[in-house]
Amino acid sequence: MSWTDMAVNGRVLVVDDAMENIQILHGALQDEHEVLFAMDGPRALEIARTQQPDLILLDAVMPGMDGYAVCKELLAAPETSDIPVIFVTALKSPEDETRALGAGAADFISKPVNAAVVRARVRTQLTVKRQRDALRALILTDALTGVANRRAFDERLDAEWRRCGRAGLPVALILVDIDHFKLYNDHYGHQAGDATLVQFATAMRRAAARTQDLVARYGGEEFAILLPQLDGRGATGVAHRLMTELEQMAIPHAASPTASRLTASMGIACMVPGEHSIPADLIQVADALLYQAKAEGRNRYKLGGADCAA
């Protein structure tokens, strides 16, 4: 089985302060899964945030930060709260198991471990996680266009705001509105309008193609492009690529007073999150700039925000 296949089968993080225990669990799982390891709580949290394992096997008793404290931190952080945890520990009493499950663990395995039991428990938790992730994807996806919906956008903006705030990195946002879309629907019909929304969403995904970029349907014919770790110059580049995509697609819009083809207006805001700012501030700036782009004739973008110098 290739490394890629093992990653598809699930990335498992093993956390234990004893290397011999890590080696035992690695030996049990390495044929089916990509296995990462950490020997203390802080390192485990760092790997969980940066490498996003599908499952964590966590020792309860470790010096310094124990497994219960690690589990609490994982649950508190939006980027790691959905990662299931199996406690693997020498503790054996019903009270210990109850405490682990009460701390948020999905399962509990006592040491010394049985390799077949570990593999079976891991497969079960990974299956449950895949089913949960698939359901969540349906809940967070716009049914028509296939991009993220408003709920997904709000959750992701909050998470990226926190993450970029901790790192002192910018967050850029482009609010996009299709020009005169009501006239488009009136002229061509709502079925054609729906097909055009799908094409428009595809164009946005081509323009914002980084893994961390998020394209979302914000409402009706309005969309949002969330660009973590991108400054004004980078965000302007995304907006320019979208305008180029629309030019090349050349979707006719005979009812538009702006152009004979489909066009869009955009407001671009960029901020480095701080203790006195909230995600709504970024949206407010982008929305005001979108309104300005429309007022100045549409088919253009306007850039602004405290940290949005291009």
Is 186 within the bounds of a domain? yes
Q: Which amino acid belongs to residue 40?
A: D
Per-chain mean pLDDT for the chain: 92
Are 59 and 169 in a shared domain?
Answer: no
pLDDT given at position 166: 87
Mean pLDDT, rounded, for 68-88: 91
Whether the predicted pLDDT of 218 surpasses 80: yes
Is 145 within the bounds of a domain? no
pLDDT given at position 3: 37
Are 162 and 132 in a shared domain?
Answer: no
What CATH number is given to the structural domain containing 8?
3.40.50.2300
Whether the predicted pLDDT of 149 surpasses 90: yes
Is 121 within the bounds of a domain? yes
Last residue of a domain, one of 112, 138, 164: 138
pLDDT given at position 2: 44
What CATH number is given to the structural domain containing 197?
3.30.70.270
Whether the predicted pLDDT of 1 surpasses 60: no
Overall domain count for the chain: 2
Whether 79 sits among the annotated catalytic residues: the reply is no
pLDDT given at position 305: 67
Residue range of the domain that includes 200: 150-304
Confidence of residue 93 (pLDDT cuts 50, 70, 90): confident
Is 227 within the bounds of a domain? yes
Last residue of a domain, one of 79, 110, 138: 138
pLDDT given at position 304: 82
Tens of pLDDT, residue by residue over 45-57, are: 999 999 999 999 9
Are 172 and 66 in a shared domain?
Answer: no
Confidence of residue 124 (pLDDT cuts 50, 70, 90): very high
Which of 194, 246, 202 is closest to 220 using CA atoms?
194
Tens of pLDDT, residue by residue over 101-111, are: 888 889 999 88
Are 186 and 69 in a shared domain?
Answer: no
Rounded CA separation 136/151 (Å): 11
* 9 vs 273, residue with greater confidence: 273
Query: In this predicted structure, which of 87-101, 135-149, 184-198 has the lowest mean pLDDT?
Result: 87-101
Are 96 and 182 in a shared domain?
Answer: no
- Phi, psi values for residue 233, rounded to 5°: -60, -45
CB 10 within 8 A of CB 33: yes
Are 111 and 188 in a shared domain?
Answer: no
Are 96 and 174 in a shared domain?
Answer: no
Last residue of a domain, one of 138, 166, 187: 138
Confidence of residue 232 (pLDDT cuts 50, 70, 90): very high
Is 212 within the bounds of a domain? yes
Tens of pLDDT, residue by residue over 177-211, are: 999 999 999 999 999 999 999 999 999 999 999 98
Which position among 73, 97, 221, 222 bears the catalytic label? Answer: 221
Confidence of residue 7 (pLDDT cuts 50, 70, 90): very low
Whether the predicted pLDDT of 146 surpasses 90: yes
Are 202 and 129 in a shared domain?
Answer: no
Whether the predicted pLDDT of 283 surpasses 60: yes
Are 79 and 193 in a shared domain?
Answer: no
Are 192 and 251 in a shared domain?
Answer: yes
Is 8 within the bounds of a domain? yes
In this structure, how many other beta carbons lie within 10 angstroms of the beta carbon of residue 124?
A: 14
Are 203 and 227 in a shared domain?
Answer: yes
Is 310 within the bounds of a domain? no
Percentage of the chain lying above the pLDDT 90 cut: 80
pLDDT given at position 137: 83
Whether the predicted pLDDT of 5 surpasses 80: no
Are 112 and 181 in a shared domain?
Answer: no
Is 24 within the bounds of a domain? yes
